[in-house]
Amino acid sequence: MSHTKQAITDVLSTIRHPELGNDVISLGMIQNLTIESNKISFTLALQKPNDPFASSIRKACVKAIHQNLGEDAEVSIELKVPAVQTKESPYKLQASVSKVKNIIAIASGKGGVGKSTVAVNLAVAMAKTGASVGLIDADIFGPSIPKMLGMEDAKPEITKEGELELITPVENHGVKHLSIGFFVNPNDALVWRGAMATNALRQLIHQGAWGELDYLLIDLPPGTSDIHLTLVQEVSVTGAIIVSTPQDVALADAIKGISMFTGKSIDVPILGLVENMAWFTPEELPNNRYYIFGKDGCKKLAERMRLPLLGQIPIVQSIREGGDSGVPIASKPGILADSFDALAKEVISQLIIRNTERPETKRVEIKHK
């Protein structure tokens, strides 16, 4: 039997939103109502992202239609959720980053351990899986990603949408990219650069025209800094990846980096550790391994801290050359690309586990004096 729109809206107008008081028709929550013989479909447009009544209203709609119009009605309801609005940020364009499914911080305690190299190759390997991937270079001390992605001279386009200025990320090797280096002059004094950099990072996050992304990777400067704090205040960081070499001094700093993220006030989960420069392998003797920074240091630390070891990457000349030439090694088929592919797979698995086991990370509240 076919039903009329009038009959259906009459039935739905008996369902009230328990919190808002009015019925779902007068609240404008029923949209795109279509009827095809006994198939009734519509969109239930929620007014806030985490409406606790979404599921009960949906069930009530189905029940009311069945009771009033007959059990044979096939009801299909799609939920429409508005974009998340975050509170304190001065930037209006919150929709940009709200379409990013996972934000991943790449950090280390010590400098020079290969964060940027790992970030670039991981981003390229993730993009090869068919995912949409963005990468922000948040290192004010030495932005290096534009060079590693072969986009040193790129100038991101700035467009106006009403009052808003949007920055279009540049793209290479399947990765959308923006760097603090595009906006902060490296010759400016470090203190001045620091103040500008936190602001620049906010803009890259909120005004970057990221669109829908599966993964947005943030390559952080070494240690713990204002940049780290800005990041966890501005967005909900899904998880952090800690890069270290197996050397004791690097591991000691890695522990400090881990503590920063897992501390009570920040509480960002660690997805795992990456042991970079795990051994040296000469290109011409691929089966030889020389453990110049020690053997399995990071692996043992991961076991001790009960964190996943996401991968072990050797020191190989072509990894460095890939970085210097702007053609990441992960983009060229070979055993090194295979190890970054395996790393990407492990990171994606850990993200799935993290997202099923833990709620969304809370942004760190900014305390106004």
Ligand X SMILES: Nc1ncnc2c1ncn2[C@@H]1O[C@H](COP(=O)(O)OP(=O)(O)OP(=O)(O)O)[C@@H](O)[C@H]1O
Residues of the shown chain interacting with ligand X in the complex, contacts defined by CB under 6 A? 108, 111-117, 139, 142, 144, 222, 276-277, 313, 315-316, 319-320, 323
- CA distance linking residue 81 with residue 93, whole number of Å: 17
- Tokens standing for 191? 């203190």
Minimum CB separation of residue 292 from ligand X in Å reads 11
For residue 30, how far is the Cα from the chain centroid?
A: 32
* Closest CB to Mg ion among residues 42, 261: 261
Minimum CB separation of residue 296 from ligand X in Å reads 16
* Closest CB to ligand X among residues 17, 147: 147
Closest residue to Mg ion, Cβ-based?
A: 116
**Binds Mg ion by CB under 5 A, chosen from 89, 116, 224, 339:** 116
Residue 113 binds which of ligand X, Mg ion, none (CB < 5-8 A, kind-dependent):
ligand X
* Closest CB to ligand X among residues 209, 313: 313
Minimum CB separation of residue 315 from Mg ion in Å reads 16
- CA distance linking residue 269 with residue 199, whole number of Å: 25
Residue 117 binds which of ligand X, Mg ion, none (CB < 5-8 A, kind-dependent):
ligand X
User: Residue 324 in contact with residue 287, Cβ under 8 Å?
Assistant: no
DSSP 229-275: HHHHHHS---EEEEEE-SSHHHHHHHHHHHHHHHSTTT-PPEEEEEE
* Closest CB to ligand X among residues 272, 323: 323
Minimum CB separation of residue 115 from Mg ion in Å reads 5
Residue 114 binds which of ligand X, Mg ion, none (CB < 5-8 A, kind-dependent):
ligand X
* Closest CB to ligand X among residues 51, 257: 257
DSSP 70-127: -TT-EEEEEEE-PPP--SS-S-S--HHHHTEEEEEEEE-SSTTSSHHHHHHHHHHHHH
Residue 362's Cβ-side half-sphere holds a number of Cα atoms within 13 Å equal to 9
* Closest CB to ligand X among residues 114, 257: 114
Of 163, 164, 123, 119, nearest to 138 (Cα)? 119
Minimum CB separation of residue 141 from ligand X in Å reads 7
The CA-based angle 217-220-224, given to 5 degrees, is 140
Interacting residues toward Mg ion by CB under 5 A: 115-116, 139
